[in-house]
Amino acid sequence: MEHHLDEPLLKKQLRAVITRKKRLLQQLMLQIETTRGELMQIKQEYDRRIGTLYQQLEDLDEQMFDLKKLHDLLLKKIPLAEARRLLTERERAQAEREDERAEEAQKQHQQIIDHAKKLKPAERDELRKLWRRLAFRFHPDLVHDEEEKRYREGMMKRINEAYARADLTALKQIDTDEMTTEENLADATMQDLEKSLMDTESGIRRTRQKLKAFKKLEWYEWKKHIEEARRQNRDFFATLEKSTMKSVKEKQKAILELELSITKFK
């Protein structure tokens, strides 16, 4: 009987603890998203300055492969014109397949861009905030139950797809349709509150583990080096850019030598 009389107070205290821990969890998840964004920016800078050079190296490797293939055909006494024709047909078929894939990807990408352009600045800000709130509500790592986890994984897929499409209407619909009792703590039973507390604490542990995992990533190491270089007014990517460019020039030289050897078969 005494426990029954104290239950409203216990529920009030438990709700306060859950609210405090949920705020901590939101802060941790925001920290993850911030860190992920920083690492993505580093990768984009890498792709822009170094990745393009590596792509050039790959193109040179492909060019060298074709030249070696041509050279092998010539060594088999196949006439130069016929050897070139065989290689050209192979390259044309491969280029057509790649063009088809690129055209379809570009079409889908353009549809997303066209839709996003229609959003006003305030709507884009609302889109981002709503995505963060829904991502927190339905994050699979916040629960133990396998069935609930699978449900949330499906919800996160819907949420992320709608966000990628910049579909504010779809996110609002998800927000309206999927209100959960977990958010309405005032009407929850003690059992519901205890489960919510356990899930929230589990989410905090998992999120902290993810933060630790982020710090073990190679891009996170690059982040620390880049920040250190900035403090010293240095360009972190400059040295790598220089060495990669050297490799490009070496490949270009090797290709010229191979092309010269092929001309001897004329």
User: Per-residue confidence at 2, pLDDT binned at 50, 70, 90?
Assistant: very low
- Asked if residue 10 belongs to a domain, the reply is no
Mean pLDDT of 72-80: 84
pLDDT confidence of residue 246: 93
- Asked if residue 65 belongs to a domain, the reply is yes
pLDDT confidence of residue 185: 58
Q: Where are the beta strands (DSSP E) in the chain?
A: none
Question: Taking 70 as the threshold, does the pLDDT of residue 181 lie above it?
Answer: no
- Asked if residue 103 belongs to a domain, the reply is yes
User: Per-residue confidence at 6, pLDDT binned at 50, 70, 90?
Assistant: low
Separation of alpha carbons 81 and 70, rounded Å: 10
- Asked if residue 162 belongs to a domain, the reply is yes
Contact 128, 78 (CB under 8 A): no
Indicate the average pLDDT of the chain: 81
Number of domains composing the chain = 1
User: Per-residue confidence at 109, pLDDT binned at 50, 70, 90?
Assistant: low
Separation of alpha carbons 23 and 20, rounded Å: 5
- Asked if residue 5 belongs to a domain, the reply is no
- Asked if residue 56 belongs to a domain, the reply is yes
Contact 189, 10 (CB under 8 A): no
- Asked if residue 1 belongs to a domain, the reply is no
- Residue range 188-226, pLDDT digits in tens: 678 878 888 888 888 888 888 888 888 888 888 889 989
Q: Is 164 exposed, middle or buried (0-12, 13-18, 19+ CB in 10 A)?
A: exposed
- Asked if residue 4 belongs to a domain, the reply is no
For the chain, the C-alpha Rg in angstroms (whole number) is 28
Q: Hey, what amino acid is at 99?
A: D
- Residue range 133-173, pLDDT digits in tens: 888 888 887 777 777 788 788 888 888 888 888 888 888 87
Enclosing domain of residue 206: 15-180+194-263
